Amino acid sequence: MSAWDDLLKLAQAGDVQGTIRRVGELTPAERRSVAAEPARRLARRRAAGISPWEHRQELSPLLLTGAGVVGGASAVASWLLRRDFRDLSDRNVPRVLEVLRARPDDWRADLAVRLARRLRLVDGWTWRVAAELVRETGVEPPPDADAFKTGWLRTLEPDRAAGDPLLAAYGPRLFEIDGLATLPLWEVADNVVRLVEAGLLERTVVLDGLVRRLLRDGPAALPPLAGLHDRLDPDLDEIARHAEDYVALLPAGPIAVADLALAQLRRLEEAGRLSEESFTEALEALAFRPEKKLLRGVIAWAGDAVLRDGGRTGTVLRAMALLFAQDTLALQERAVRLAVRLAPQAGPEERAAVRAAAAGLPGELREKVAAGYGGAIDADEPEAVPLPAAGDGRRLPAPYGSPEELARGIDVFLSDEDPHTFEVLLAGLATWSERDPEGLRAALRPWTEPLDASFFGHWPDGLDQHAGYALRRAFLAFAASAASRSLPSRSRRWTISLAVLDEPPARRCAELAGRYADGGRYPVVLATPTAVTGHVAPGVLLDRLERLEAEGVEALPADLTQALLRLPREIAAADVARAGRLASEAGRACAAWMRGERLGDPEVTVGRDSWSWLRVTIDAAGAPERGRELLEIRAAHSWSMDWWPLVMPSHRDVVAAHLVSPLAEGTEATDSDARVLVDLVHGDGPLGAGMAYALACGMGQAQAAGRAAAGDALLTLAARGEVPAAELAEVVTKLVKSEYVKLNRVVAVLDDATQAGAHEAVWEVVARLLPGLLPEEGERPRAGLADLLAAGARAARIGRVRADLPEVAAIAARKGSSRLIQEARRLQRLLQSSESTL
């Protein structure tokens, strides 16, 4: 038997120790003869449809064989990092090291560096191999290997760190590790403190690195590092060295980081060690922060600081003038109180600045400033920002100009997905299969020689249902139908249920692939959009149907259904008459649809199931058979909800209804699908509960990007005069009370919309929200209500609204000085004022 026969038998038996022994017995010639065999074995397993989990006992022996027989250090690094071995356990670490110790020391040092530099954050046991090789060989740990450094920090054990070359190399610069954010930072902080206490890390070096990291990350700084800073307990000398850095952290750092910087600057100022320049810069930076906690802190600090040094009166007054613009009543009152107290010491320049800023204050606060600063102050006239235009700035991609260009486009599509590109690719297949079939087959030949099943979504555990893979399979069916039929067919052990609106693109590809596999042709795709919203112009669809009839080609059912769903809601009489002259079955279906026998506007209802999830249903009663299945909503996986608006561009509320459950369930997710709302609102069709729930869930997203997308959608609807204010207010009230959505997030979106010009629409929503959310006597108010009142006041002031809201009046009439009562009084005065503004 050959050496490989021996090793293969050991692998099939899962004999790890036997493999190590046999690899160690190989001669140099046998090693060379065996070097390519482990990789071939893995390739044959994949070609046979065997998943890595089948015959798993082979993997460790194959790993060890490759580690012992593959020649160069670079090739061994690639071998150890193969995906096939990624999920193996740490038990393989000593085994691999045992095999590698047969290699020369300089070769192992080379491997250590190469492996460390190529590691990924997901690599586990391979990190341990690389780390042990670095330690064993004494090679310098590579400085440009962030994943390797992250692995060191993840596995750091302070009690065993003394003498570790990795600590010596990376410890002083541990805060420069990019992967720091992926680690449990509380554990990192504990380890760093223990290393400092043990004298293994220098406290000053750690503090310097920590502050540099906070500065580097800016708005993305890691708040837990602020806690580590406090645990290091820097003294005044150490703080003084970083005074300018703390000032630089104030404008944009997360609140925990800004709070840390403020506390350190206050310590310095109280000790008389903060320069006037830094004091001034700190106050001005904090005055523009939105967080109330920080703003209360800066007012308190300013008041204490001016008592210690009256020469700071000008600086403090300029900061208070900036704070007048915060438009939070409690903060404005504090700033006004301090400004009035300092009025006798104010110089001409500061008095002018305070008076100018006071013009935007509410009436009674403006009067207090006027009394202290020399007479009446006219109120600012609020300026209404014009709403942005509601136009859709997107453009359709251009058709592909050659078979080669088309082949390149489909080749990269999976890595750069876009529904419009998908449509152009599918249309290009029909176009070039007719115009230059041999040229297209030649351009696609690299796909088939050799044929890689995984390129077309055929994996060992089943067939990938992604529309991109379905598109590739349609191209393959045209280019090489025999090769297409040779792809393995293997049923899934578990089934992914796709969302309903994910199915039409893949279904259209599958039926086109079937047409080509049967030797048929399809000269034009009916459903290719003519507008970026996904609509198909009626005249263009009729042109396409007439071409199919003229060439005797039967329309594909899913393509026809998609085309009909993409027709606009209004169709000219001439097009209806033209459709009536079509003779094919598809033509008659189109004519009936254009006459009005189409999908109507079903009613969307939303309730709660037994698990307290939102349950969305769409009434399909009276809907025609064609398109009826798209009204079914089921819990399912979605490849990309960005594609959904193009499926039903004339039925925005239906698509929005499909979005409700995933948006509600993903409210706290690290990524938000609310971005789809931005495109969806440019479609057509009446809006109701579906859009109201989708918007409300989008406004309640934890991710700022998700809330911004919902805000953009709201602005577009406002510009088109289509905000479903009554439905939206009713839905937000329900979701806030049911704790599906946090009110403060909704208020932030509404406030941003006011600033962007949608104050009229915002007021309509807020005026309907307040009666349902304001507390009854004795009831505890929910978080965010004072902000909602303030947001309503801003919108009403810009719109010069006068109205009676009994619920607001009742809160305003209560005794007390809570922020809720203060904001209710401000709004009540505004709504009942005879002046044009406060």
Dihedral angle, C-alpha 720, 721, 725, 728, nearest 10 °: -10
Residue 694, CA distances (Å) to 134, 449, 643, 690, 698 in order: 53, 47, 16, 6, 6
Nearest residue to 110 via CA among 135, 132, 137, 86? 137
pLDDT of residue 834 exceeding 60: no
Span 568-573, average pLDDT:
96
- For 497-518, what is each residue's pLDDT tens digit? 678 999 999 999 999 999 999 9
pLDDT of residue 393 exceeding 90: no
pLDDT of residue 492 exceeding 60: no
Quick one: pLDDT at residue 838?
36
Q: Provide DSSP, 100-129.
A: HTTS-HHHHHHHHHHHHHH--TT--HHHHH
Residue type for position 241? R
- The model's confidence at residue 89, banded by pLDDT at 50, 70 and 90, is confident
Token pair listed for 467: 């529309």
d(CA 374, CA 377): 9
> With contact defined as beta carbons under 8 Å apart, do 829 and 808 qualify?
no
Span 644-669, average pLDDT:
93
- For 702-757, what is each residue's pLDDT tens digit? 999 999 999 999 999 999 999 999 999 999 999 999 988 999 999 999 999 999 99
More confident residue, 48 or 655: 655
More confident residue, 11 or 562: 562
Quick one: pLDDT at residue 494?
42
- Cβ contacts of 137 within 8 Å, gap of 6 or more: 105, 108, 109, 112
d(CA 243, CA 285): 14
- For 120-130, what is each residue's pLDDT tens digit? 888 889 999 99
- The model's confidence at residue 48, banded by pLDDT at 50, 70 and 90, is low
Matching residue, tokens 């509410």 = 362
Quick one: pLDDT at residue 200?
95
pLDDT of residue 612 exceeding 70: no
Of 107-111, 120-124, 701-705, 824-828, the one with minimum mean pLDDT is 120-124
Residue type for position 330? A
3-state secondary structure of 615: strand
- For 747-801, what is each residue's pLDDT tens digit? 999 999 999 999 999 999 999 999 999 998 888 999 999 999 999 999 998 998 9
Nearest residue to 107 via CA among 142, 67, 147, 51? 67
d(CA 678, CA 686): 16
> Strand ranges (DSSP E) for 641-787?
none
- For 534-545, what is each residue's pLDDT tens digit? 999 999 999 999
Quick one: pLDDT at residue 522?
97
pLDDT of residue 250 exceeding 90: yes
Of 571-575, 619-623, 638-642, 753-757, the one with minimum mean pLDDT is 619-623
3-state secondary structure of 583: coil
- For 460-477, what is each residue's pLDDT tens digit? 666 777 888 899 999 999
353-357 contacts: CB < 8 A, separation 24 or more? 353/317, 353/318, 353/321, 354/317, 354/320, 354/321, 356/321, 357/321, 357/322, 357/324, 357/325
Phi and psi at residue 451, to the nearest 5°? -85, 125
Dihedral angle, C-alpha 512, 516, 521, 525, nearest 10 °: 20
Give the mean pLDDT of the chain.
90
Radius of gyration of the CA atoms of the chain, in A: 34
Matching residue, tokens 């460790």 = 60
Dihedral angle, C-alpha 562, 567, 569, 570, nearest 10 °: -160
Helices 16-25 and 59-69, axial angle in degrees (round to 10): 20
Span 281-290, average pLDDT:
92
With 0-12 / 13-18 / 19 or more C-beta atoms within 10 angstroms meaning exposed / middle / buried, residue 534 is buried
Span 591-602, average pLDDT:
92
Nearest residue to 698 via CA among 716, 713, 687, 683? 713
Quick one: pLDDT at residue 490?
52
Percent of the chain having pLDDT more than 90? 71
Quick one: pLDDT at residue 493?
43
Residue 219 zone, left/alpha/beta (φ > 0; ψ -120 to 50; rest): alpha
Question: Is the peptide bond prior to 450 cis by the omega test (within 30 degrees of 0)?
Answer: yes
> With contact defined as beta carbons under 8 Å apart, do 231 and 253 qualify?
no
- The model's confidence at residue 423, banded by pLDDT at 50, 70 and 90, is very high
pLDDT of residue 836 exceeding 50: no
pLDDT of residue 49 exceeding 80: no
31 Cα distance to chain centroid: 49
> With contact defined as beta carbons under 8 Å apart, do 502 and 645 qualify?
no
- For 2-35, what is each residue's pLDDT tens digit? 888 899 899 888 899 999 999 999 999 999 999 9
- For 317-374, what is each residue's pLDDT tens digit? 999 999 998 878 889 999 999 999 999 999 999 999 999 999 988 888 999 999 999 8
Token pair listed for 497: 């249920």
